[in-house]
Each structure stands twice: as structure tokens, then as C-alpha cells.
Amino acid sequence: MSRKSTRRTFLGQTTAIGAGVGFWSGTSMISRGEDSALQGLSAACIGVGGKGGSDTSHIGDQGVAIVGLCDVDGGTLTKKGREYPDAKQFNDFREMLDQLGDKVDIVTVSTPDHTHTAAAIRAMRMKKHIYCQKPMTWSIREARMMRETAAEMGVITQMGNQGTAEDGLRESVEIIQSGGIGDVAEVHIWSNRPIWPQGKGRPDGEDPIPEDLNWDAWIGPAPMRPFKKGEYHSFNWRGWCDFGTGALGDMACHTTNMPVMALKLWDPIAVTAVRNPGIVEGETYPASSALMFEFPEREGLPACKFYWYDGGELPPDEIISQLPASFQKRMADQKEGGRKTSGAVVVGSKGLLFSPDDYGAKHYLLPEDDFADYKMPAQTLPRIPFKAGGDERHKWEFVSTVKGEYEPGTLSNFGYAGRLTETILVGNLALRAGEGKRIEWNAKELMSPNVPEINQFVQREYREGWEV
């Protein structure tokens, strides 16, 4: 069944994922991009360089008219403007939303982490549908605010963890939820990040601000600091605590997505930084870390521990020794200084599910001999019918939901993605508490009852003019 929507028709849709992945049934109609253009859907895009460049193009490829482009970097803005010559250009998203607010249906947010909430909530309160890059927010409380605002305004949302669109990830969720590997009490996930500078203090001095850079808008809600060439803009911001969320925030929305979805791993009760060199001078995340999250029994699932490793840290040998020989060799090479790997291992009472990439798109059931005759469980999650790469399929799911032509809705909507982001960012609190310090966590109140000094990092006070 297809439901046509016009420019200011808003779908008060919600999907089951907001309360956890459950059963899906129904049919959908494949929607072509040119149909969107006929319906008059339009978008304004905030952050149009790097990942924001492809986000903008992919939305446009679905037939959505790109009418506004915003980037603090004039060179980036000019370059993207050649692709969309009819779009108005801005270097401050507040001005763009003020001017184009009644002319757009969709807003994409592909900026550094610290400005996601300021942009997205402003747009959602104008009843705009939002595609926002991962991690959804810079702070834990912002994640709560984002999902609550999305629900209140009834807008369609999607976080940019494109692995969600992969059939392989959805199959893995079904395997785990059907009991294919038994009861799960441990999850181990490691990342090849960071690939940017971390583990250092703030540089001395300042450099002249480039004429085509709106530094005030780049800083946005964060505390003002001097411009320093190459330190923050355009990519190295991820390691700085004021702007990014480190290796954990950057990649965990991808790499933990599958087990979090399958096992409902949100609202941890405690987090410990098992290995933690510490936040350097209050400025940057450590170059490597290892964390342990604790989850209680939930919805009939047993208590579970989730272990995170980054910066070259790896799971213990008893986990590595159960992986395919070819991957064990790669990890052995890493220990000798070779290329870093990424992976996820879900440890069940009947065996392991191993995903060897960042997106959960592939999986192995181990030991292989034990699963030689394994039959896939019944499908409980929809498969995206649009044929393209995962990132484009993720955009198709979003745009088609906005149009009202894809009834299952967005799987990584803010109801789900907000809870995922909250879970992940609690780990960064542990990095501020010191090595081996167990932080108890009250997810309902968003606070630690036993380490109150870290509660100041659950949210931030916005700089004047950038308040939410």
C-alpha cells in the first residue's frame, strides 16, 4: 500500500524499534527517486564536506530537491554548490533554517558531533524530518533530548549508521534473537580507531582564521578557543573532548549496532575503564582504551557484559583463538605492529557469532562444524528492497519513509539510535573517572550515584546564542 504525502504533510509514524527490535510483517512498494521530485520534497543540508558531501548527494539522488547548503568552510560550500547551483548557500545553520524553514521538508546534519543537537533540535521543532550523522549527539543528555523531541514532533528520523541497512546485520540480529547461539553473557568489540590525533594537550598560541572559515559557527555551542591550523578543523576534531567523542563515539554506533539491537543492550548499570591512560589535560581522549559495560537481566535476557577495545587493544586470547585462522593471523600481525583490525564477537552458550567488519554486514557462526547444518530462522525484520550500497540504501529507507511509501519505517530512528548513543557515551564518562574505577549508572536519571564528580559531563552549558 502506498500513501502519497505532500510538502507539509507529516507522518506521525513511530516504529517498533523505539522500544526494541520486535516482529515485523507487511509489504512495501519500491519508490523511485523521480517520484520524490514530483511530490515536491526538498532538503537543506548542514555540513556538506566529507561524509556530509555524500549525505547531501545521496538524499538528492532520491529525487529530493536540495534547496539549501550550509558549511562553515567557504571552499567546501563553493565546491558542493557546483553540484547544486540552485541551492542557497549559508555558513551558519541558524540563518539557513530561519530563511528556508518554510521551504524544506528534510534537514541533514553532518557536522562535528558537538553541533548535531543544536542543529537537529532546532530543525525538528520546525517539524523537519532529520537525517543525522553518528554519533547522534556529543553528550548523553542530548541523546535523550533528541529522541524525546523527535517523538514529540512526530517527525521521521534516521541516524547515519548505514550498517543498519545491510541484510547481513539484520540476519545476525534474527539469529541471536531466535536463540541460534544460545544465551549471551559476553560481547567483545574492537576498533581500529583512532586514526586521528588523541592523547595530547591543547597547543599553545593561535593562527589567523582563514577568511573563508566561519570559526564562530564552527565552535558553535562549545566554549570558544583560538583557531590553530590543522588541530581541529577540518577532521582532527574527533579526538578533542570539546568537539568529538573519540574512538568510542566515532565507531561504536557502527560496530556495536548489531549486538545492541539484538540483545537490547541499553541502559547499562555500570561501566569500568579497564585500561585507561586518561583524558589528557582535560583536552583529548586517550590514544587507547578498554572498557567493560555491565547490563542486568532485561526482557527475559540474561545479564551481559560488553567489552570495548580501541587504539590497538584486543580481546583476550581465549576469544581470539576461537576465530577463523585467517583472522587470527591478521590479529597476530597487529600485535607485531601491523595494520589494526576491527571486529565483533557475540559469545553464546551454543557458540559464537563473529562479524569481521565495522558494520555487522557479514557474520560467521563458530565453531563452523557445529553450525554446518544450521538453518536460518524466520525473518522478523524487513529487508530494504532498494538495490545499492549500504549507505544509499540507508538514505532510501529514510526518504521513502518520509514519503509514506515504506511502511516498516526507519530502523535507526532516534527512538532506537538515541538509546544506542546513550549507552555508548556512558563509556566516555569512565575515561574521565580513572583506570579501574567502576561507575554505577542510573540511566533513568542520567547520573552516577557513586561517582558524582563525573555527572558534570553528562551535558554541557551551551555558549550564548547556540542554546537548544
| Predicted confidence (pLDDT) per residue in 335-375, tens digit | 999 999 999 999 999 999 999 989 999 999 999 999 999 99
Mean pLDDT of the chain: 92
Q: Assess whether pLDDT exceeds 50 at residue 6.
A: no
Q: What average pLDDT does range 21-28 have in this prediction?
A: 34
Q: What average pLDDT does range 172-187 have in this prediction?
A: 98
Q: What average pLDDT does range 453-461 have in this prediction?
A: 97
Buried b (16+ CB within 10 A) or exposed e, 305-342: bbbbbbbbbbbeeebbebbeeeeeebbeebeeeeebbb
Q: Assess whether pLDDT exceeds 50 at residue 190.
A: yes
Q: Assess whether pLDDT exceeds 60 at residue 38.
A: no
Question: Which option is the CATH number for 167-198+230-380+419-457: 3.30.360.10, 3.90.10.10, 3.90.76.10, 3.40.47.10?
Answer: 3.30.360.10
**SS3 state at 54:** helix
Contacts of 97 (CB under 8 A, 6+ apart): 44, 107, 119, 122, 123, 126
Measured between alpha carbons, how far is 73 from 76 in angstroms, rounded to an integer? 5
Measured between alpha carbons, how far is 425 from 151 in angstroms, rounded to an integer? 21
Measured between alpha carbons, how far is 293 from 415 in angstroms, rounded to an integer? 21
Measured between alpha carbons, how far is 292 from 430 in angstroms, rounded to an integer? 9
DSSP 237: G
Measured between alpha carbons, how far is 374 from 368 in angstroms, rounded to an integer? 10
Instruction: Check residues 26 and 314 and name the one with the higher pLDDT.
Output: 314
Of 307, 295, 308, give the one whose Cα is nearest residue 419.
295
End-to-end Cα separation, the chain, in angstroms:
38
Q: Assess whether pLDDT exceeds 50 at residue 26.
A: no
Angle, vertex CA 461, rays to CA 456 and CA 462, nearest 5? 150
Q: Assess whether pLDDT exceeds 90 at residue 24.
A: no
Q: Which residue has the cell 535507526?
A: 412
Ranges in the chain annotated CATH 3.40.50.720: 16-165+383-415
Q: Give me the pLDDT at residue 39, please.
A: 55
Q: Does residue 234 have a cis peptide bond before it, meaning omega lies within 30 degrees of 0?
A: yes
Measured between alpha carbons, how far is 320 from 81 in angstroms, rounded to an integer? 48
Burial class of residue 11 (count of CB atoms within 10 Å of its CB; 0-12, 13-18, 19+): middle
Q: What average pLDDT does range 401-417 have in this prediction?
A: 97
- How many C-alpha atoms does 373 have within 13 Å on its Cβ side? 0
Q: Give me the pLDDT at residue 235, please.
A: 87
Residues 245 and 428 sit within 8 Å (Cβ to Cβ)? yes
The string of pLDDT tens digits covering residues 210-262 is: 999 999 999 999 999 999 999 999 889 999 999 999 999 999 999 999 999 99
Q: What average pLDDT does range 421-431 have in this prediction?
A: 97
The confidence band for 36, taking pLDDT boundaries of 50, 70 and 90, is: very low
CATH 3.40.50.720 fits 16-165+383-415, yes or no: yes
The string of pLDDT tens digits covering residues 118-140 is: 999 999 999 999 999 999 999 99
The string of pLDDT tens digits covering residues 64-95 is: 999 999 999 999 999 999 999 999 999 999 99
Ranges in the chain annotated CATH 3.30.360.10: 167-198+230-380+419-457
Q: What average pLDDT does range 437-454 have in this prediction?
A: 98
pLDDT > 90 fraction of the chain, expressed in percent and rounded: 91
Q: Give me the pLDDT at residue 7, please.
A: 37
Q: How far is CA 106 from the centre of its chain?
A: 19
Q: Give me the pLDDT at residue 420, please.
A: 98
**SS3 state at 249:** helix
Q: Assess whether pLDDT exceeds 80 at residue 12.
A: no
